[in-house]
C-alpha cells in the first residue's frame, strides 16, 4: 500500500483543479499547470482536494498511485509558491551576472559562458556569487540549475566551482 497515495492533495485558497479523463489541470495565482496520469489510477476532485486511487491491485498500479499523487502535489505547489534552486559560485574571479535573458558566467575559461535562460524559468543573480533559478515546473527548474552547474562542477581540493547552496563538497587534503 502506498502511504503517500492515501493522502488526498488539498487545494489551498485561490487554487482550482479540474479532472477530465486522466488529465488534471490546476489553476492558481502563478499560472496553470496540467498533468496526464496513466490508466492505472483514477483521479477525482471533492471537498477542495484531489484524490488518487489505484484501479487494480497490480504492482504497476500501486507504483503509479504514489507517483501520480506526488505529481499532482507538485502541480499545486508550482502554481502557489513555485520552486527555487539556489547556486553558489566559489573561486577567485568566478562571477555571474544577468544581461537580458542571458546569464553571463566568468568561470576561469578563456571566454565568458553565455547561458540562455529557457522559457518558463526565471534566473536572477542578486550577488555576483549567487544564482537563483525559479519557476513553476520542478523538473525544469532542477534541469536548468543542473545545466548551469555543469559548466564548472566543484572540485574537491579548494571547492572552486558552482555548487548548490545546501550541497556538501567532500574535501581532499592534497599533496604534502
Decide: 65 and 41 in contact? Cβ < 8 Å: yes
Mean pLDDT estimate for the chain: 93
* Local confidence band at 151 (pLDDT 50, 70, 90 cut-offs): very high
Q: What is the pTM of this model?
A: 0.88
Q: What is the mean pLDDT of residues 109-120?
A: 94
Q: What is the mean pLDDT of residues 109-131?
A: 95
Q: What strand order describes the sheet that includes 23-28?
A: 16-20, 23-28, 31-36
Rg (CA), the chain: 21
- Using CA atoms, how far apart are residues 146 and 143, in angstroms rounded to an integer? 5
The CA distance from 28 to 171, in Å, is 44
Fold observed for domain 83-164: Outer Surface Protein A; domain 3 (3.90.930)
Q: Where in the chain are all domains bearing CATH 3.90.930.12?
A: 3-80, 83-164
Topology at the third CATH level for domain 3-80: Outer Surface Protein A; domain 3 (3.90.930)
Inter-axis angle of helices 59-80 and 138-149, nearest 10:
80
Amino acid at each position: 500500500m502506498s502511504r503517500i497515495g492515501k493522502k488526498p492533495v488539498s487545494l489551498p485558497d485561490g487554487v482550482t483543479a479540474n479532472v477530465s479523463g486522466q488529465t488534471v489541470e490546476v489553476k492558481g495565482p502563478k499560472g496553470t499547470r496540467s498533468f496526464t496520469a496513466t490508466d492505472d489510477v483514477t483521479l477525482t476532485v471533492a471537498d477542495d482536494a484531489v484524490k488518487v486511487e489505484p484501479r487494480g491491485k497490480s504492482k504497476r498500479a500501486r507504483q503509479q498511485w504514489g507517483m501520480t499523487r506526488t505529481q499532482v502535489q507538485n502541480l499545486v505547489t508550482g502554481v502557489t509558491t513555485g520552486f527555487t534552486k539556489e547556486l553558489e559560485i566559489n573561486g577567485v574571479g568566478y562571477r555571474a551576472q544577468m544581461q537580458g535573458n542571458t546569464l553571463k558566467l566568468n568561470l576561469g575559461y578563456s571566454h565568458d559562458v553565455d547561458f540562455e535562460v529557457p522559457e518558463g524559468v526565471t534566473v536572477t543573480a542578486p550577488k555576483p556569487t549567487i544564482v537563483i533559478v525559479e519557476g513553476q515546473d520542478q523538473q525544469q527548474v532542477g534541469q536548468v540549475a543542473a545545466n548551469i552547474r555543469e559548466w564548472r562542477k566543484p572540485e574537491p581540493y579548494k571547492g572552486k566551482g558552482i555548487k548548490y547552496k545546501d550541497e556538501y563538497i567532500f574535501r581532499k587534503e592534497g599533496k604534502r
